[in-house]
């Protein structure tokens, strides 16, 4: 969908009809399907197969994700794996654990594998001091060969950085930043325990541009307590004034039974469904009117950003961090709760620091669950990722890669797409499925049709709303 096109008309009836919960499909099968029966030995075998060249695409550079769980204060909406503490000395033990995990990983993977994408997430990676961030980057570069032109990104809490810290990050090699903003309205910020002014973020972004960061992302959330359609429209205008290269717009999912910090949110202050729909509609229209390209689902980018270019060229991919310009490559996840993908396996590390440290002390990689994909998983993953990234599935490519006939293999699913076709979201032909401009806003609903696990149990309470 071109940035210059008028956004499609989305009726309130259509928005309400698809105000349903569903996966974000940063993987298929999704992480909730991982099982503890998946063993660390299976993960080690996948690493060894990659090292031996036995995996398809095993010579391609890796993507590397490092999870830093610490935050100084809790944001009530947060659903991340985190540790709230003001004791910064705890970072030293964690950095040592990361070194141990890297060494154990490379014992199976081989020394100095090439990395084309490195991302520090959390928690708040900027909880680490300048010296600790420098040590971490040195530890990584001593063990992995970071390729020239690699995407090196870090999530930044604007409350924990200054212009001097940004300069330090740039000197360490970071070339991409992601600022957690969520909302600029002071009342909303107070309600979610995250106070940061527009002026502070504006100054940081200006400083980041002067330092030559290649891409700056801003995260927003709609549906937070005390938000209104009018207040969020002001935030949208302020974000457009900042002109970030990328915008991630997430709908707040209130799941206090799963995420303890959300219990501090007054449910009476949450906006009604109609107000949330108005916020979403205003955001879509506002960003497109300012020249942003709609990447897919809840992501926007300026036309010259690498994500927009990748979408135009049909090179868009998805991994556990969301949309990516990187090829469909293996990902190594380091740190507590991190998720990785190697070959036809997914793996996740222990979710608590106690268990994570304990496994490493035993000389064992800290994997405690995962999944080995079967043939059906691989076929469905190909379908879902083509829909999520290219907005089109050419049957011939799936049939040649997986030795099936799509109309036969997915007979029931193609029939389930008929209502979506009638709603104008997809176009079905004898040899392809095409997501329309309207359908891009509901692409998760299209992908869900091909999710065998979801279709089998229809348990969606653990997922966010798709709009």
Q: How far apart are CA 175 and CA 352, in angstroms?
A: 30
For residue 55, CA distances in Å to 169, 302, 346, 378 come to 35, 36, 14, 14
Residue 194 annotated as binding?
yes
Contact 251/278 with Cβ under 8 angstroms?
A: no
Contact 182/235 with Cβ under 8 angstroms?
A: no
Asked if the model's pLDDT at residue 7 lies above 70, the reply is no
Q: Which top CATH class is 30-332?
A: alpha beta
> Of the CATH numbers 3.30.43.10, 3.30.1180.20, 1.10.10.10, 1.10.10.920, which one belongs to the domain with range 1-23+374-467?
1.10.10.920
Mean pLDDT estimate for the chain:
91
Q: What is the dihedral of CA 61, 166, 205, 322, to 10 degrees?
A: 30
What does the pLDDT look like over 132-191, one tens digit per residue?
999 999 999 999 999 999 999 999 999 989 999 999 999 999 999 999 999 999 999 999
Identify the DSSP state of 6. Answer: P
Q: 88 versus 327: which is more confidently predicted?
A: 88
Residue 237 annotated as binding?
no
Sign of the C-alpha dihedral computed for residues 423, 427, 433 and 438 taken in this order = negative
Beta bridge partners of 393: 433
Identify the pLDDT of residue 458.
56
Residue 219 annotated as binding?
yes
Kindly write down the DSSP assignment for every residue of 335-358, as one continuous string.
STT-EEEETTEEEEE-SSHHHHHH
Residue 71 annotated as binding?
yes
Residue 323 annotated as binding?
no
Please list the residue range(s) of the chain that carry CATH number 1.10.10.920.
1-23+374-467
Residue 163 annotated as binding?
no
Kindly write down the DSSP assignment for every residue of 56-121, as one continuous string.
TTTTSPEEEEEEE-EESS--TT--S--EE-S-TTHHHHHHHHHHHHHHHHHHHH-SS-EEEEEEEE
Both structure tokens of 128: 């680490």
Contact 290/279 with Cβ under 8 angstroms?
A: no
Both structure tokens of 418: 């008929």
Q: What angle do CA 281, 248, 351 make, to 5 degrees?
A: 125
What does the pLDDT look like over 239-272, one tens digit per residue?
999 999 999 998 888 888 888 899 999 999 999 8
Identify the pLDDT of residue 467.
60
Please list the residue range(s) of the chain that carry CATH number 3.80.30.20.
30-332
Q: If 0-12 CB within 10 Å is exposed, 13-18 middle and 19+ buried, where does residue 295 land?
A: buried
Residue 80 annotated as binding?
no
What does the pLDDT look like over 31-55, one tens digit per residue?
999 999 999 999 999 999 999 887 7
Query: Average pLDDT of 366-391?
Result: 95
Q: How far apart are CA 407 and CA 405, in angstroms?
A: 6
Supply the pTM of this predicted model: 0.91
Asked if the model's pLDDT at residue 317 lies above 90, the reply is no
Contact 311/54 with Cβ under 8 angstroms?
A: no
Asked if the model's pLDDT at residue 382 lies above 50, the reply is yes
Query: Average pLDDT of 193-200?
Result: 94
Identify the pLDDT of residue 111.
82
Identify the pLDDT of residue 58.
66
Contact 307/41 with Cβ under 8 angstroms?
A: no
Residue 155 annotated as binding?
yes
Identify the pLDDT of residue 1.
40
Beta bridge partners of 349: 367
> What is the 3-state secondary structure of 50-65?
HHHCCCCCCCCCEEEE
Confidence band, pLDDT 50/70/90 cuts, at residue 26: confident
Q: How far apart are CA 111 and CA 47, in angstroms?
A: 12
Confidence band, pLDDT 50/70/90 cuts, at residue 5: very low
Percent with pLDDT over 90 in the chain: 71
Query: Average pLDDT of 291-317?
Result: 89
Q: How far apart are CA 4 and CA 449, in angstroms?
A: 30
What does the pLDDT look like over 197-230, one tens digit per residue?
999 999 999 999 999 999 999 999 999 999 999 9
Residue 253 annotated as binding?
yes
Confidence band, pLDDT 50/70/90 cuts, at residue 329: confident
Query: Average pLDDT of 83-105?
Result: 95
Asked if the model's pLDDT at residue 2 lies above 50, the reply is no
Q: How far apart are CA 137 and CA 125, in angstroms?
A: 12
């Amino acid at each position: 969908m071109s940035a210059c096109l008028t956004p499609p008309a989305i009726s309130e009836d259509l928005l309400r009809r698809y105000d349903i919960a569903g996966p974000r499909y940063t993987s298929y099968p999704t992480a909730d399907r991982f099982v503890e029966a998946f063993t660390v030995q299976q993960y080690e075998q996948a690493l060894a197969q990659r090292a031996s060249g036995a995996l398809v695409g095993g010579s391609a550079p890796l993507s590397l994700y490092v999870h830093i769980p610490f935050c100084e204060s809790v944001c009530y909406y947060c659903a991340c794996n985190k540790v709230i503490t003001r004791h910064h000395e705890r970072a030293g033990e964690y950095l040592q654990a990361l070194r141990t995990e890297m060494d154990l990983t490379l014992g199976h993977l081989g020394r100095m594998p090439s990395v084309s994408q490195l991302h520090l997430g959390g928690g708040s990676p900027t909880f680490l001091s300048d010296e600790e961030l420098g040590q971490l980057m040195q530890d990584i570069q001593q063990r992995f060969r970071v390729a020239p032109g690699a995407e090196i990104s870090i999530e930044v809490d604007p409350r924990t950085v200054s212009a001097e810290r940004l300069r330090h990050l740039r000197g360490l090699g970071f070339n991409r930043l992601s600022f957690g903003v969520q909302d600029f309205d002071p009342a909303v910020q107070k309600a979610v325990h995250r106070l940061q002014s527009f002026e502070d973020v504006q100054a940081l972004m200006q400083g980041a541009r002067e330092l030559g960061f290649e891409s700056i992302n801003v995260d927003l959330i709609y549906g937070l307590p005390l938000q209104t359609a009018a207040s969020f429209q002001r935030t949208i205008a302020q974000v457009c004034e900042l002109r970030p290269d990328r915008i991630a717009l997430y709908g707040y999912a209130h799941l206090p039974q799963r995420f303890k910090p959300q219990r501090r949110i007054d449910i009476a202050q949450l906006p009604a469904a109609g107000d949330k729909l108005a916020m979403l509609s205003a955001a879509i229209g506002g960003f497109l009117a300012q020249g942003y390209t709609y990447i897919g689902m809840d992501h926007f980018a300026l036309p010259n950003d690498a994500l927009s270019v990748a979408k135009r060229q049909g090179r868009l991919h998805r991994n556990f961090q969301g949309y990516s310009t990187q090829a469909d490559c293996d990902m190594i996840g380091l740190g507590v709760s991190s998720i990785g993908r190697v070959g036809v396996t997914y793996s996740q590390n222990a979710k608590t620091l106690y268990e994570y440290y304990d496994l490493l002390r035993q000389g064992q990689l800290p994997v405690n669950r995962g999944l080995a994909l079967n043939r059906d998983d691989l076929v469905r993953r190909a379908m879902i990722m083509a829909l999520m990234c290219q907005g089109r599935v050419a049957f011939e490519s799936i049939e040649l890669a997986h030795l099936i006939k799509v109309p036969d293999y997915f007979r029931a699913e193609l029939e389930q797409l008929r209502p979506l076709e009638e709603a104008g979201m997809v176009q079905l032909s004898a040899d392809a499925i095409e997501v329309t401009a309207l359908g891009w806003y509901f692409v998760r609903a299209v992908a869900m049709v091909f999710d065998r696990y979801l279709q089998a149990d229809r348990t969606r309470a653990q997922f966010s709303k798709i709009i």
